[in-house]
Chain A
Amino acid sequence: MCLAVPGKIVSMSGDDPWARTAKVSFGGAIKDVSLAFLPDVNVDDYVIVHAGFALSQIDEKEALLIFEDLSKLAAGLDGDGESPA
């Protein structure tokens, strides 16, 4: 369930927090999105969007962790001689 897609905020408008919206770009396809649940985001931030609402701002540092973890794993595996399937 819960198809939610990452996109980049291109512009924002509206003063009333519940009514704030943004134009969010998904690879160049731009859609109007409600920012009611993310009062602190700015232009150029990446957000996850579900059914027209931005639900979460993507933490760009955390986003790299999976690749760092993979490097650490590789370092560990090389020594053990475990063979992948």
Chain B
Amino acid sequence: MSQAKDFAPSCPAPIAQYPQVLLAHGGGGRLMHQLIERVFLSAFSNPLLDTGHDAAVLEVGAARIAFTTDSYVVRPLFFPGGTIGTLAVNGTVNDLAMAGARPLALSAGFIIEEGLAVETLQRVVASMQAAAVEAGVAIVTGDTKVVDRGKGDGVFINTAGVGVVEHGLRIAPASVRAGDAVILSGDIGRHGMAIMAVREGLQFESAIESDCAPLSAPVLDLVSSGVDVHCLRDITRGGLASALNEIAGSAKVGMTIDERPVPVREDVRGACEILGFDPMYVANEGRFIVFAPEHQADRVVEVLRRHPVSGDACVIGRLTLERPGLVVVRSILGATRVLDMLSGEQLPRIC
């Protein structure tokens, strides 16, 4: 990856490798993955970490314990459909769910900026408790720190979660097989556009609400329904396209996706059109992908559709042997192209 001095001098001056971390490094795209690989994975490498899944599954005696962590830095703190607190609880519950685990308990660490109104903090915390109750977990331990004014965006929250894996499946990227069906749990793009709607300078007035929600119920239903679930991945930053690319990369399989059945709500589409966003790359917080044997695809859809949060589940593609690591998408006109991971974050454009 080093940009050696080997490019032709006639090209315009190159950007040096970014010596400082950019916001784009947090965008869920290729830059973020490069940072993770270069800095974190290389330093921490071990077999559990290297499975590259949302949660690590530890074998403790006869039990299998799932363990995960996430940090929440979203601004604004409150948005239609949720708060930084609901994101924190559901995000961690969902990471556990993606390992097929039943969530047991969460920790919550708060880094609070000096000057934050206590009432604001109370609103965030109340929303966390409500989300925890809905998800069937308790927040059992935590931490509190305060930083100088200007050193934090109101509040940052870190949550860690433990869950228990009560089935014999190994739900991880390594378990997927060529020929597996790819099933999407519902419509995409709501969370990212709900956030955009509130952020300074890009305001919409219709109520696009975040899809932030816990996913344990449909997942646990699925694993107990007899479906041989190979892998699960929730869609967060970077959107559907990034999640698909992550699995294709980790599992070293190819993927063929059909754009046509992917559901997008009309107001989300409208918001994406006007900002020049591709819904495939817009963040979600209550959607996931299932990788399961082809012959069980219909069963997966049937089970998922029993739950409101995955009521629009549909098959969107298949894993292939060709072109491992690449996600290929079929356009509405029938031509195919590579659906790449984004380099940084999507930026609103006028061009």
Interface residues of A (CB under 8 A from B): 1-3, 5, 7, 23, 25-32, 49-51
Question: A31–B274 contact, CB under 8 A?
Answer: yes
Q: Are B267 and A28 in contact (CB under 8 A)?
A: yes
A61–B114 CA distance with the chains assembled, in angstroms: 60
Q: Which residues of A contact B203 (CB under 8 A)?
A: 31-32
Stretch in contact with the other chain, from B12-20, B204-212, B289-297, B309-317: B204-212
Q: Which residue of B lies closest to A23 (CB)?
A: B205
The answer to whether the Cβ of B276 comes within 8 Å of any Cβ in the partner chain is yes
Nearest CB on A from B265, distance (A):
8
Docked CA distance A32–B189 (Å): 22
Quick one: closest B residue to A51, CB to CB? B350
Contact, CB under 8 Å: A29 / B267:
yes
**B317 vs chain A, min Cβ distance (A):** 25
Which residues of B lie under 8 Å from residue A5 when comparing CB positions?
A: 270, 273-274
Mark each residue of chain B from 335 to 351: 1 if its CB lies under 8 Å from any CB of chain A, else 0.
00000000000000111
Task: Say if the beta carbon of B266 comes within 8 Å of chain A.
Answer: yes
Given the known inter-chain contacts A23-B205, A50-B350, A51-B350, please indicate yes or no for A28 contacting B274, CB distance below 8 A: no
A29 touches B268 (CB 8 A): yes
Beyond A1-B351, A2-B351, A3-B351, whether A30 also contacts B205 by CB under 8 A is: yes
Given contacts A26-B270, A28-B267, A30-B205, 5 further A-B contacts (CB under 8 A): A26-B274, A27-B269, A27-B270, A31-B203, A31-B205
- Which residue in B270, B276, B349, B351 is a CB contact (below 8 Å) of A29? B270
Q: Measured between C-beta atoms, what is the minimum distance from A48 to chain B in Å?
A: 11
The interface size bin for chain B is 10 to 19
**Chain B residues whose CB sits within 8 angstroms of the CB of A31 once the complex forms:** 203-205, 274
Task: Tell whether B271 is near chain A: CB-to-CB under 8 Å.
Answer: yes
Closest to A24 in B: B274
The 4 closest A-B pairs by CB, nearest first: A27-B270, A26-B270, A28-B267, A29-B270
C-beta contact mask, B262-289 vs A, less than 8 Å → 1, else 0? 0001111111011010000000000000
Shortest beta-carbon distance from B15 to chain A in Å: 23
Q: How far is the CB of A15 from chain B (nearest CB, A)?
A: 22
B351 and A28: CB pair below 8 A? no
B 32-68 binary contact with A (CB < 8 Å = 1; else 0): 0000000000000000000000000000000000000
Contact A27 B267 (CB under 8 A): yes
* Known contacts A3-B276, A5-B274, A49-B274; is-contact A29 B206 (Cβ 8 Å): yes
Query: Which residues, 174 to 208 on B, are CB-close (under 8 Å) to A?
Result: 193, 203-206, 208
* A and B contact pairs by CB, cutoff 8 A, 27 listed: A1-B351, A2-B350, A2-B351, A3-B350, A3-B351, A5-B274, A7-B270, A23-B205, A25-B270, A26-B270, A26-B271, A27-B266, A27-B270, A29-B193, A29-B204, A29-B208, A29-B268, A29-B271, A29-B274, A30-B204, A30-B205, A31-B203, A31-B204, A31-B274, A32-B205, A49-B274, A51-B350
Q: How far is the CA of A50 from the CA of B206 in the complex (A)?
A: 19
Complex contacts, B204 vs chain A, CB 8 Å: 29-31
> Which of A3, A26, A29, A30 lies at the interface centre, i.e. has the most chain B CB atoms within 10 A of its CB?
A29
B295 to chain A, nearest CB (A): 35
Report how far A26 CA is from B351 CA in the complex, Å. Answer: 18
Assembled-state Cα–Cα distance A51/B350 (Å): 6
Complex Cα gap A26–B277 (Å): 14
Closest to B275 in A: A3
**Nearest B residue to A52, CB-CB:** B350
